[in-house]
Each structure stands twice: as structure tokens, then as C-alpha cells.
Structure 1
Amino acid sequence: MEKNAKILVVDDDSGIGEMLKTLLEFYDYEVFVTEKPQKTQELILQYNIDLVLLDMLISGVNGTDVCADLRQNPETNKTPVLMMSALHNAGPKCKEAGANDFIAKPFEMEDLIEKINQILGQ
């Protein structure tokens, strides 16, 4: 496992963002949280992010659009994206947008850590 990998959590629910930050920090990740999906690219570059944990539905913005934009930018197109959603059948849409993987909400923390480790190990 890559210790101190930097993870950016993009979720408009600050409670979920802060909970994920606390839990991921317990696993020795450095975690940044934003409720502003339009800041995703800027934050990836600013903090040299290793992985983006991106919610699919973020206040008026579709996370799949954010993911697709990351894939089109040469500066961010290699940054791994793990998308999450409680929507039924969201996984295929997220992968079509370029997400490396998908996790359905609600999820077990062990499952999330396993997926993060798999992606960072790729």
C-alpha cells in the first residue's frame, strides 16, 4: 500500500466528506475534501493528488461530467478516479465517463480501502 497517498474527496455532503476524511486518515492517507466539483482539477494540481473519490451527484453537477473533464485534460487524465453513488446502475455510467472504478453507497469501509489500494497499486 502506498503510504500517505493523497486523496481528494469530492462530495457535496460535508458530513460524508468529513467522515471519509477521518476514516481515510486513520489508514494513513492524506485527505483533502471539497464540496465544489468545479475545483477538482485545480485541487488535483495544487496538492498533487494521487486519487479522486468522486460522488456521482453533486449539487447541480454530474460527477460523470467532472470525471470526463479530468480525462480530457492532459494534466489530470492519469489521475485515478473512484466514483461513488447510491443510484441504481450508476457503475457503468461512471466507468463510461472514465472512472477507474466504482463503489455503491452505502459501502463498507473495508471495501472502500480495498478498492483504493487496488487502484493505487495499478
Structure 2
Amino acid sequence: MQILIVEDDARVAELIQRGLEEQGFKTTIAYDGLSGKKLVLQNHYDLIITDIILPKIDGLDLCKQIRESKPDMPIIMLTALGTTDDKVEGFDAGADDYLVKPFEIRELLVRIRALLKRNNKILNHNGNVLKYADLEMNLHTKSVKRNGIEINLTPKEFNLLEYMLHNTERVLSRVEIAEKVWNTHFDTGTNFIDVYINYLRKKIDKDFNKKLIHTKSGMGFILKEQNNEN
């Protein structure tokens, strides 16, 4: 497995490289965002690890630009910024996971293996369309419609809705959503999952009389066809 490390702190980059290579991964280091972008476009990598604060191109813009040419590339962001807003900004840019510095290399390895395992699963559906009530998701074209109206979702919103469509009429806890959609452990100090649920509600439910995404107080969220519940 080939992993690109984009990190301007040479000491941190080399520590990550040594930890990964001890586990059998092959690694390349880029010390700025522009070099990282060039390497991604010229070579094959199975996963990218990038800091956010980088010279030339920052990690957020790098992530967005990678997503344009390689939309399925697994990306882990490393940063000292750990607030809910910082995490949401990282996920909005297209990151699959978010690790706050300082971290243990063992935790990074767990995140890497989870992402690689997920990315290597090939979906073999007889049909590529998930439907519930008047909501329809096409897994092949990555499109979502409600009552025939096209709804534009970000990649993370799409992944969250896909998981909910695979688990309709079942309460999904924040812990489960964090593990299954973000491949991370839920941090009770942040509320980024609630933020994304609210994003989805604004797009999926706001303009429709019948609400599909509901909150079960103290338990989590459920995708269910009913009229009167939060």
C-alpha cells in the first residue's frame, strides 16, 4: 500500500513515515501542498495523510483539489485544530477522517486500516438505487432526488444519508454514525454529527411537508416516514 504524507514539519513527517513503514506500508513525503498535489496527479497512492497548515497550498484546498481529480481517494487530515467548526471544515473539504495532534501512531494506523478496508470493498448491487418513501439515491451516479426534485449533497452528506438509507426505521446513535460513516470514535466534546444531520435536514426535509429525519432524544437519529416528531 502506497501512502503519501503531506506535512511541512520534517520531524513529524519522518515519525509518521517510520511508524508506517514498520507496518509494511510504502510512503512518500511532500513538505508543502503544491508538491503534494503534483505527486497525487503523477502517481498512484492508496491513501493520503495531510496536515492542514501547509506552505503554498493549505490542506483544505489540497483536499478539495484532489477530490476534483480523484473523488474516491481516502484522505486523513492531521491538525492541531480540534473544534467542531474545524472538523466540519475539514470534512466539508472532502476529508474522510480527522486526527488531532498530538496523536499516537497506533491510533493513526487504526484509522488508516479502517479507511483502506472500506475503500477496498466493491459494491456489487443488483440495483444501484436506494429508495425510501419519496427519497431516491443512485449509488452509481451519486445523485439524490426527493419527489423527483434533484438535491445536491456534499460527499459526507451523501455518505451519511446512504448509511441512513441502508438502516431505515432504526435508531442510529452518534457513536455508530461516527464509527460507520466517519470511521472514527465519537468525541463527546464535539457535535459535528449533529451539524451534518442538520445539513441533511435542510436539504432533505425543509421544503417537504413529510419529514424523514428525526431525533430520538438521548438516543440518536432515525430515518422514518412520519409527520410529527423532531
Question: Any idea what SS the aligned residue of 2:27 has?
Answer: strand
User: For residue 75 of structure 2, what is the aligned residue in structure 1?
Assistant: 81
Where does residue 54 of structure 1 map in the other structure? 50
Q: What is the CA–CA distance in structure 2 between the aligned matches of 1:39 and 1:114, rounded to whole Å?
A: 27
Question: In the alignment, residue 91 of structure 2 is paired with which amino acid?
Answer: K
What pairs up with 1:14-25 in 2 under 5 angstroms? 14-25=10-21
Cα deviation for residue 24 of structure 1 reads 0.6
The TM-score, its normalising length taken from structure 1, stands at: 0.88
Distance 2:82 2:98 in 1: 12
TM-score by length of 2: 0.48
**Percent identical:** 28
C-alpha contact 1:8 1:32 (8 A) present in aligned 2: yes
Any conservation in 2 of the 1:91–1:103 contact (CA below 8 Å)? no
CA distance in 2, matches of 1:29, 1:91: 27
The Cα shift of 1:118 comes to 0.5
- Larger Cα-atom Rg: 2
Aligned length: 116
1:34-45 aligned within 5 A: 34-45=30-41
Residue aligned with 2:95, SS: coil
- Residue in structure 1 matched with residue 111 of structure 2 by the alignment: 115
Contact 1:91 1:102 survives alignment (8 Å): yes
Structure 1 or 2: larger helix share?
1
| Residue pair 2:7, 2:31 contacting (<8 A) in 1 also | yes
In structure 1, which of residues 95, 99, 103 is the aligned counterpart of residue 95 of structure 2? 99
Secondary structure class of the residue paired with 1:59: coil
Structure 1 stretches lacking a partner, 5+ long: none
The 2-side partners of 1:77 and 1:22 are apart by: 28
